[in-house]
Amino acid sequence: MRKRLVMIGNGMAGARCIEEILRRDRERFDVTMIGDEPYPNYNRIMLSPVLQGKTTFEEITINDWDWYQSNDIHLLKNERVVAIDRGTKEVKTDLGTVVPYDELIIATGSSAFILPVPGHNLEGVVGFRTIEDTKMMLEAAKQYKKAVVIGGGLLGLEAARGLMNQGMDVHVVHLLPYLMEMQLDPAAAKLLQRDLEAQGMKFLMEKKTSEICGDGRVQGLRFEDGTSVECDLVVMAVGIRPNVAIAREAGLTVGRGIQVNDVMQTSDPYVYAVGECAEHRGIAYGLVAPLYEQGVVLADYMTGQPTEGYPGSVLSTQLKVAGCDLFSGGEIHADENTKAIVVQDEFTGAYKKVLVRDGKVVGVVLYGDVSDGTRLFNMLKKGSDIQEYTSASVLHKAGEDSGLDISSISANETICGCNGVTKGTIVGAILENGLTTFDEVKSLTKAGGSCGKCRGMVEAILAHTLGDKFDASAQKAAGMCSCTTLSRDEVVAAIREKGLQSPREVRMVLGFKHEEGCSKCRPALNYYLRMLRPDTYADDKASRYVNERMEGNIQNDGTFSVIPRMYGGTTTPEDLIRIGEVAKKYEVPLVKITGASRIGLYGVKKEDIPKVWEELEMRSGYAYSKSLRNVKSCVGSRFCRFGTQDALGLGIRLEQEIEMVDTPHKTKMGVTGCPRNCAEVLTKDFGVVCVENGYQLYFGGNGGTEVRECDSLTTVATEDEVIRFAKAYVQLYRETGIYGERTAPWVNRMSADWVRQMLADEAEIAMLNDRFEAAKRTYSEAWKTALENEERRSMYTVERP
């Protein structure tokens, strides 16, 4: 007869423990899980990417409802256990349910610590631990614009970055003089703060909150030094408290957490505890990898498998914030018995510190370049002797390959910290199931399925395990989004072949994971259908990004920039006066000449944008759109003594001919009047250099973070030929580019020779021009219809007569 196993909790640690138990012995227990949230088991550490807009709630589900049913697990959701009766071996819930047990696992996790200052119970004060917390912040960001995050630790910084991504102005309040003091030393923390400030995050350091102010809803914070800050939302990220009340009331031994031995057994031999609620050898862990390690030990013990018990964990940390790569593990600060090896590159912002005691690595702090993180942390956990290493190379073996030796990693080493997947699990899955690709490993083991930072390690293990059988060329590219394994080309081909007419039809017919799609595929499918079916598909403005919907670029304080079109940087006295009057009326804080030779109004409030555009009576400059942004030009032969052709006139004409039509990403063009290249056209998506005998054409340039110089296309004799090639080039990019892909990586992917070959065919150029004109006509007609219906224009614009 099966034993009755009850799990209090439906979080990451608890569900993982049940997974491990079922993997070892499916027939031993009848399992009941009791969770106080209305959701299936989800990945709590991925709430930060959800808040940052990088993923969705659906995508962070670890075990969906089918998992419970297929494993005969009885789940009581949205119920909270209020009592454990150890005498009768029963648990009782707030809904009156009584569940008997033979063995009980407590996995109640922890709760966000809310500072008990006056005003902490005002509306708009929230922790950051649950889906409901995250939803509350997302909803607040739609109505309010000023947020304060109390706590400059890992979670606080991830929350702050997420709120900024939602358009909020964010201050981080921190009690100490530097950030993430539990994971970083002052030098690395200083680099982190500098990079976050460059992103627009604001800091109030060495501040202690004395009061949260507001009448019903939070309106600001006061600090003990007498200063204050205004805000509409307060996020508490000052730490967590293990949820131990239910265990304490049941008479179990409780310290900071529920005290357990090395097999996770509490003071009652029939009751166990795992996860953030458990205290092992005086430590209550708050990171996921130790919690999963505890679950494995407990599963072994409860199913009669041999185990050496849980010895405790050495912790490592990574930050999930774009543009800030950091890794820390073990000890952070040196003492009198510790030596530090430090390398700092102030030019690149890279910082590495390795702490050594008695010839062994005891701590690692990396910022900027974290490629050595896994190798150094592996050495730390194994207690490797480093005498044969050189300090100058930051512990790379002298004269040997500095890369990580996969064979040196033990089977129980955690590779995927987000999902607690070890090397042994990955290797076993590969060998037992004949896996040959990363996607197959991810699907079966979940390694690399969350933040994705371990993908390189997973692929290296795959290659090492398969040896000569590993085929790098067979590795499947990721799908166009997490909703599907289909690539962009496969989706576009299916739309053509199956005659699909709408994004919903595409998702249903092609079996996308989520019926409503995600933030990545919704705008992409809208673009592909608009590109493929310009005459029949109606643009879905709701699927577009906020900048395109608002016809302005959102700024770091939640306001927007409004940039009217000025062909070639030219304007009129009337337009200048109108810009000045509008800027004054709406109290625009910054009026600036942009890099594209236009006048930009920065700091326009969201609610003022429609009125600003209406009163300007000028056309949009597309500074927010995935289309032609601008054509940069010099004055050419109109005024310059070196000019060979009318670069200004050609630039204006190019802008008028190409504008409006969507492209996979923003595009920029340039026309320079002579080879002196004052308009910097050789790093544009499409560039024209005027010469004595005509016009030299270039393509595929990029002047961004990864600079790419243009490839040469051809030389033509007339402006009409320039326009013709430009339209053909843009249409070719429209039809074969991946949504979100600039022309530079598109050219690298397709090859410059292929582009030249396509545009060397006169018949192909003619067909591309015809399709471009057909697309542009639909944009013009949509704009005219909007005007006739007296609607505010979206992204469609045509020159007014």
Task: Write out pLDDT tens, residues 696-718.
Answer: 999 999 887 678 899 999 999 99
Beta strands 146-150 and 233-236, pairing class: parallel
Residue 307 lies in a domain: no
Amino acid type, 612:
V
Rg (CA), the chain: 30
Whether 608 shows a pLDDT value over 70: the answer reads yes
Percent of the chain with pLDDT over 70: 92
Is 416 labelled as part of a ligand binding site? no
Tell whether 692 and 747 lie within a shared domain.
yes
Helix (H) or strand (E) holding 631: strand 628-633
* 667 and 724 housed in the same domain: yes
Q: How high is the pLDDT of residue 794? A: 40
**Is the pLDDT at 298 greater than 60, yes or no?**
yes
What is the per-residue burial (b if ≥16 Cβ within 10 Å, else e) of 466-499? eeeebeeeebeeebbbbbbbbebeebbeebeeee
Highest mean pLDDT among 301-305, 575-579, 738-742: 301-305
Is 720 in the same domain as 733? yes
pLDDT tier, 94 (very low <50, low <70, confident <90, very high otherwise): very high
Cα 19 to Cα 54, 383, 428, 776, distances in angstroms: 27, 31, 16, 55
Judge whether 521 is annotated as a binding position. Answer: no
What are the pLDDT digits (tens) for 9-65? 999 999 999 999 999 999 999 999 999 999 999 999 889 888 987 778 888 898 899
pTM, to two decimals:
0.59
Residue 107 has pLDDT above 90, yes or no: yes
Q: Do 737 and 756 touch, CB atoms closer than 8 A?
A: no
Among the listed ranges 7-11, 354-358, 461-465, which one has the minimum average pLDDT value?
Answer: 461-465
Indicate whether 425 belongs to any domain: yes
* Structural domain harbouring 424: 414-474
Q: Is the pLDDT of residue 392 over 60?
A: no
- CA distances to 100, 182, 362, 376 from 187, rounded to whole Å, are 54, 13, 18, 19
pLDDT for residue 321: 64
Same domain (yes/no): 649, 786:
yes
pLDDT mean over 655-667:
90
Q: What is the pLDDT of residues 436-451, one digit of tens each?
A: 888 788 878 878 766 6
Structural domain includes residue 699: yes
Same domain, 19 and 99: yes
The CA distance from 754 to 746, in Å, is 11
Can you tell me the mean pLDDT for 533-550?
Answer: 79
Does residue 591 sit within a domain?
no
- 718: alpha, beta or left? (left if phi > 0; alpha if psi -120 to 50): beta
Neighbours of 701 (CB within 10 A): 25
Q: Distance between CA atoms of 347 and 443, rounded to whole angstroms?
A: 40
What pLDDT digit, counting tens, does each position of 180-234 carry?
998 899 999 999 999 899 888 999 999 999 999 999 999 999 999 999 999 999 9
CATH of the domain at 460: 1.10.10.1100
Rounded to an integer, what distance in angstroms lies between the CA atom of residue 616 and that of residue 591?
Answer: 14
Q: Is 213 annotated as a binding residue?
A: no
Q: Confirm whether 562 is domain-assigned.
A: no
Residue 71 lies in a domain: yes
Residue 682 sits in the same domain as residue 789: yes
Which of 543, 560, 590 delimits the end of a domain? 543
Judged against a pLDDT cut of 70, whether residue 795 lies above it is answered with no
Reported as a pLDDT band with limits 50, 70 and 90, residue 798 is: very low
The domain spanning residue 392 has which CATH number?
Answer: 3.30.390.30
Give pLDDT, residue 788.
57
pLDDT of residue 516: 76
Q: What is the structure's pLDDT at 472?
A: 63
Q: Do 186 and 297 share a domain, yes or no? A: no
Percent of the chain with pLDDT over 90: 48
| Greater model confidence, 386 or 266 | 266
Is residue 622 domain-resident?
no
Residue 287 domain-assigned? yes
674 is an annotated ligand-binding site residue: yes
Same domain as 258, residue 233: no
In whole angstroms, what is the distance from residue 644 CA to residue 715 CA? 14
Find the CATH number of the domain harbouring 203. Answer: 3.50.50.60
Is the per-residue pLDDT at 687 higher than 80? Answer: yes
Tell me the per-residue pLDDT of 366-384, one tens digit each, with 9 for 90 and over.
Answer: 998 777 787 788 888 888 7
Predicted confidence at residue 3, as pLDDT, reads: 96
Residues 294, 204 share a domain: no
Q: Which of 6, 246, 248 is nearest to 103 (CA)?
A: 6
Domain boundary among 348, 378, 404: 404
Same domain, 756 and 736: yes
Domain tally for the chain? 6
pLDDT at 217: 96
Q: Please state, rounded to an integer, the average pLDDT across all residues of the chain.
A: 87
* Together in a domain, 47 and 135: no
Q: Is 82 left (phi over 0), alpha (psi -120 to 50) or beta?
A: alpha
The better pLDDT of the pair 649, 620 is held by: 649
pLDDT for res 481:
81
Asked if 319 contacts 444 with a C-beta cutoff of 8 angstroms, the reply is: no
Residues 513 and 652 in one domain: no
